[in-house]
Amino acid sequence: MTKTFTALAAALAATVGTTAVAQDNPTVGGAPMMADMTIVENASMAPNLTTLVAAVQAADLVDTLASDGPFTVFAPTNDAFGEISQASLETLLMPENQATLQQILTCHVVAAEAFSGAIAGMISDDGGAHPVETVGGCTLTATMDGGMIRLADENGRVATVTVADVDQSNGVVHVIDRVILPEGFAG
């Protein structure tokens, strides 16, 4: 699986120069994000999402996040994963912990496409805090702080959207600065 995904990433990187970038699509980690590529294809090109890509591979979620969607993915950066101890991260990536890793990763996924303007509108309509149901069964609380969208998980950990509205062919990605964890997980 890793070799296949690495080959896919190399092939995609080779085609970057021939694929049009959406006019206002932000870059992620300096890499252009292509609105006509899937979440998996674009994430594999972002140098600051390599830990997320490795975790998606280990969790066997590549095909899911490459499917039609639409999805909203709150994508933690390498630095966000760096807040988790190396030992805990290595343990999560072990095959015997795949179900736990899947649950953690799917708590970063919503089964609908929601750009930041829509999320901000929901937050406003709900009096400053909007519940966000994830594919993994987590309920995040979306709020605004200084014009930035923030997501609190069920443990009180708060992630801030640092890059919003990265359009993908099967949804949208919002890059976040912290890993979201299901209720009861320590980070």
Residue 183 lies in a domain: no
DSSP 47-103: GGGHHHHHHHHHTT-HHHHHSS--EEEEEE-HHHHHTS-HHHHHHHTSGGGHHHHHH
Residue 185 lies in a domain: no
Domain count, the chain: 1
| pLDDT value of residue 186 | 65
Q: Considering only CA atoms, which of 139, 135, 176, 180 is closest in space to residue 157?
A: 180
Instruction: Tell me the percentage of the chain whose pLDDT exceeds 70.
Output: 87
Residue 88 lies in a domain: yes
Tens of pLDDT, residues 66-120:
898 899 999 999 999 999 888 888 888 889 999 999 999 999 999 999 999 999 9
Cα distance between residue 134 and residue 185, in whole Å: 16
Residue 187 lies in a domain: no
**Residue 22 contacts by C-beta under 8 Å, 6 or more apart in sequence?**
33, 34, 35, 167
CATH number at residue 64: 2.30.180.10
Contact 44, 147 (CB under 8 A): no
Residues spanned by the domain of 26 = 2-170
What single-letter DSSP state applies at residue 135?
T
| pLDDT value of residue 69 | 87
What single-letter DSSP state applies at residue 137?
S
Residue 19 lies in a domain: yes
Tens of pLDDT, residues 1-29:
333 333 333 333 333 333 333 447 888 98
Residue 177 lies in a domain: no
Residue 97 lies in a domain: yes
